[in-house]
Structure 1
Amino acid sequence: MDYLNYIGLERDKSHHIAEKLNALLANYQVFYLNARGFHWNIKGDKFFELHAKFEELYTDSLVKIDEIAERVLTLGKQPLHSFSDYVEVAQISEHKNVQDEGTAVRIILESFRILLLQERELLVLADEAQDEGTNSLMSDYIREQEKLVWMYAAFLG
């Protein structure tokens, strides 16, 4: 039983999942910063609507960032916690000075695509490892984000 961690999962599989969660954490940190910047800098006819929506996104991201970091710790690894690590690991690019409504929403949609692909990969890995904690977290994120993708895509027409 030395191959199991304290929560009864195989150490090797848990560490692999934790590494993938750290990559997801990095992407959420960059996503958070982008959404915060869009919230501050957006201009145009839909300012009031998007200003509020971007605030919802970055507020939700903060919750998810904490949940992901705590899950990494639960699995026995250390979460990434420096911006240099986030930028190095993340697939989501940072975006500066975006003021255009359409551009900001397209960036949000592309970011969700990246997050959803990672979350689905984690869902498969967690299922194979019988890691219900990670599985549940990813299922919740996927369900929420698929609806948001539909809504933001509808905004673009």
Structure 2
Amino acid sequence: MKINSLGLPIKETGELVNELNALLSNFQTYYQNLRGLHWNIRGKRFFDLHIKFEELYNDSQLKIDLIAERILTIGGTPLHTFSDYIENSTLKVGKNISKDTEAVQLVSDSLVELLKIERNILEKSGHINDEGTNSMMSDFIVEQEKTIWMLRAWMEDEI
């Protein structure tokens, strides 16, 4: 088995790069959705949600950079065009959403989908002892699980 300069198997690391690029693409969609929600939210909960969506898109922007840098660290090239993101993203695109419950539901659903991708990456990176990717995915998962819980708690009085 051939290994790279980090001691990771080259073939499996290449596969992991593809998975991380899919995550990067989905995070770009998530980020853009959050920007749109931040701009377009209306109603009595405007002030709270406007601030929350800004907090979430700032956080996702940091995660996007971490994912791209991880791809580079393990020897890959991060996707960086909108056409690549569109082609490789599976998240629902939220267009012209201004209602609070619809907006929060989109964010929650998106995070659930991101968790699935991250858990898949965590499993694959675990098989090749890629602790850097493992650590990043674990951190993302813990934080996003808590955010999903909070979003769902917010929606309880609406359901």
Scaled by the length of structure 1, the TM-score of the pair is 0.97
Tell me the residue number matched to 1:68.
67
The separation in 1 between residues aligned to 2:20 and 2:64, in whole angstroms, is 10
The separation in 2 between residues aligned to 1:96 and 1:127, in whole angstroms, is 36
Runs (5+) with no aligned partner, structure 2:
none
1:44 maps to 2:43: yes
Q: State the 1:93 CA deviation.
A: 2.2
1:25 maps to 2:24: yes
| Secondary structure in structure 2 of the residue aligned to 1:24 | helix
Tell me the residue number matched to 1:143.
142
After TM superposition, list the pairs within 5 Å mapping 1:3-152 onto structure 2.
Answer: 3-152=2-151
Q: State the 1:81 CA deviation.
A: 0.3
Runs of 4+ aligned structure 1 residues displaced above 2 Å come to none
The Cα RMSD (Å) is 0.8
| Secondary structure in structure 1 of the residue aligned to 2:95 | coil
Scaled by the length of structure 2, the TM-score of the pair is 0.96
Letter in 2 for 1:138: M
Runs (5+) with no aligned partner, structure 1:
none
Q: Percent identity?
A: 49
| Secondary structure in structure 2 of the residue aligned to 1:136 | helix
| Secondary structure in structure 2 of the residue aligned to 1:28 | helix
Q: State the 1:75 CA deviation.
A: 1.3
